Amino acid sequence: MARRGLAAHIRGLEAGIGVVRRRLSLPVGEKGAKRAPGGYRSRREWHAKSRRLTVLEARRDRAVADWRAGRVRVVRGGKRLANTRHHLDTAQLTDERWRGRWEAARMFLSADGETGKRYGNETIRITPDGHLSVKLPAALAHLANAPYGRFALAGAVVFPYRGEEWADRIAGNRAVAYTLHHDPDRDRWYVTASWQRKAMPVLPLDAALVAGCIGVDMNDDHLAAWQLDPHGSPVGEPHRFFYNLTGTASHRDAQIRHALTRLLHWARGCGVKAIAVEDLDFSTEKTREKHGRRKGFRRLISRFPTARLKARLVSMAAEHDLTIVAVDPAYTSKWGAQHWQKPLTTPRRKTTRHDAASIAIGRRALGHPVRRRTAPPHDDRSDRRGHRTVQAPPDARGREETRPRVPGPCTRCDGPGRGANVGDQCAQNRSGHTTEHESWQQHSIPLSL
């Protein structure tokens, strides 16, 4: 995990260095494009950023050197808890309570499982009736109270969650990994069991979307979801699943799992087989060189757990036989609010921008355009000119893009008194005018060779 964190830190530094270098190469005050910032506003800011470029390059060089040397910087027990030692009054902790948490965080026992061994793990063994024993190393063999150099604990282990699945695995001697840790606040010992599931069969997209889907718009404090039928029309009422991303990492992870659990249970109740989400990735978009003074937006994307949400959702959806469909996130919020927010707002239901975005996500997963069908003019709603809408066919390329007006000849029939030649009497098809009675004759010899 430390190596992955160091690699992500290097990628972030390289992204920031690239943005600063590009902006320094532009003239001062030059405006930027939609996806590329322009030059800096003043010479003072340009000079400050040139110094920051040197700092970023030095940090990148140190991180790359650590990576190549295989050196990682890890605080066993957590950096947050280590810093709390210097602020006990603010944390409302005594030295004894802090010491207990520190020792509990640094003291744990973990062992990977192995298929074929008895009950799936040779080091930490738990029998079907809950008896736990640990294989002691040779230096501690004299402390064994059970045969074959094992130390048996008096307490019994109970797994209230997925206990039947755990029992089925150990009955077949399949690998199960265990971790033992102590909770100083409750003064209890806990055992965490984990195992790797087999790869789930991939369901064809057409079969997964045959009953519609649920579009989910991921936000920093809640999930906005709406059920859509196979034709892309919203069904029922929107649902929101809130979570709080403040506090420790374990608390944030628990909040995410709780929100996803409620989402999956609701999806199963709706009878759908697919959940559509945005394929978001902010790994290279968190630097302040990318977004400048937009501190609120940088804070938002920094704490937005896109990767964790997608990983949790995919693994948890496999338990409920649900398929996850990732779609392009471009313009889902903008077009959803433009085409769906107002029509779905009623006196008893206030449709938010996030609810409308969930519809756009679901329609994109089903293969429908985000735009709604627009009714034709009133005089064109009959068979005289046919039923026409602005909806593009499913096989039209670029139907999700903005359609500019293409200049060209008008294909509609102009009514009486309309058209470009309405004032030219000689251009009208009337008797007595040159348009009807003029004659022409083709020359027998070509005019040009």
pTM: 0.65
With 50 as the cut, is the pLDDT of residue 13 above it? yes
What tokens were used for 329? Answer: 């996130």
Average pLDDT, integer, range 74-78: 86
Q: Which residue has the higher pLDDT, 329 or 419?
A: 329
Average pLDDT, integer, range 215-230: 91
Average pLDDT, integer, range 106-125: 91
**pLDDT of amino acid 197:** 78
Share of the chain above pLDDT 70, in %: 76
Q: Which residue has the higher pLDDT, 361 or 435?
A: 361
What is the sign, positive or negative, of the torsion defined by CA atoms of 20, 23, 24, 29? negative
- The mean of the pLDDT values for the chain is 81
**pLDDT of amino acid 238:** 93
Quick one: pLDDT band at residue 423, thresholds 50, 70, 90?
Answer: very low
**pLDDT of amino acid 276:** 93
With 90 as the cut, is the pLDDT of residue 251 above it? no
CA gap 111, 228 in Å, rounded? 45
Q: Which residue has the higher pLDDT, 305 or 246?
A: 246
With 70 as the cut, is the pLDDT of residue 87 above it? yes
Average pLDDT, integer, range 140-147: 91
**pLDDT of amino acid 307:** 72
* The residue type at 95: D
Share of the chain above pLDDT 90, in %: 44
What radius of gyration do the chain's Cα atoms show?
33
CA gap 253, 263 in Å, rounded? 15
**pLDDT of amino acid 205:** 85
> What is the tens place of the pLDDT at every residue in 16-33?
899 899 999 999 988 887
Quick one: pLDDT band at residue 352, thresholds 50, 70, 90?
Answer: very high
> What is the tens place of the pLDDT at every residue in 170-186?
999 999 999 999 998 88
Average pLDDT, integer, range 62-76: 92
CA gap 253, 247 in Å, rounded? 10
Buried b (16+ CB within 10 A) or exposed e, 418-433: eeeeeeeeeeeeeeee
**pLDDT of amino acid 246:** 80
Average pLDDT, integer, range 146-167: 90
**pLDDT of amino acid 413:** 43
With 50 as the cut, is the pLDDT of residue 422 above it? no
Average pLDDT, integer, range 126-149: 92
What HEC string does the chain produce? CHHHHHHHHHHHHHHHHHHHHHHHHCCCCCCCCCCCCCCCCCHHHHHHHHHHHHHHHHHHHHHHHHHHHCCCCCCCCCHHHHHHCCCHHHHCCCHHHHHHHHHHHHCEEEECCCCCCHHHCCCEEECCCCEEEEECCHHHHHHCCEHHHEEEEEEECCCCCCHHHHHHHHHCCCCCEEEEEEECCCCEEEEEEECCCCCCCCCCHHHHCCCCEEEEEECCCEEEEEEECCCCCEEEEEEEEECCCCCCHHHHHHHHHHHHHHHHHHHHHHCCCEEEEECCCCCCCCCHHHHCCCHHHHHHHHHCCHHHHHHHHHHHHHHCCCEEEEECCCCHHHHHHHHHHCCCCECCECCCHHHHHHHHHHHHHHCCCCCCCCCCCHHHCCCCCCCCCCCCCCCCCCCCCCCCCCCCCCCCCCCCCCCCCCCCHHHCCCCCCHHHHCCCCCCCCCCCC
Q: 71 Cβ partners below 8 Å, 6+ apart?
A: none
Tell me which of 82-86, 119-123, 250-254 is least confident.
250-254
Quick one: pLDDT band at residue 293, thresholds 50, 70, 90?
Answer: low
> What is the tens place of the pLDDT at every residue in 366-384?
999 887 765 555 555 555 5
Q: Which residue has the higher pLDDT, 26 or 302?
A: 26
Q: Which residue has the higher pLDDT, 246 or 387?
A: 246
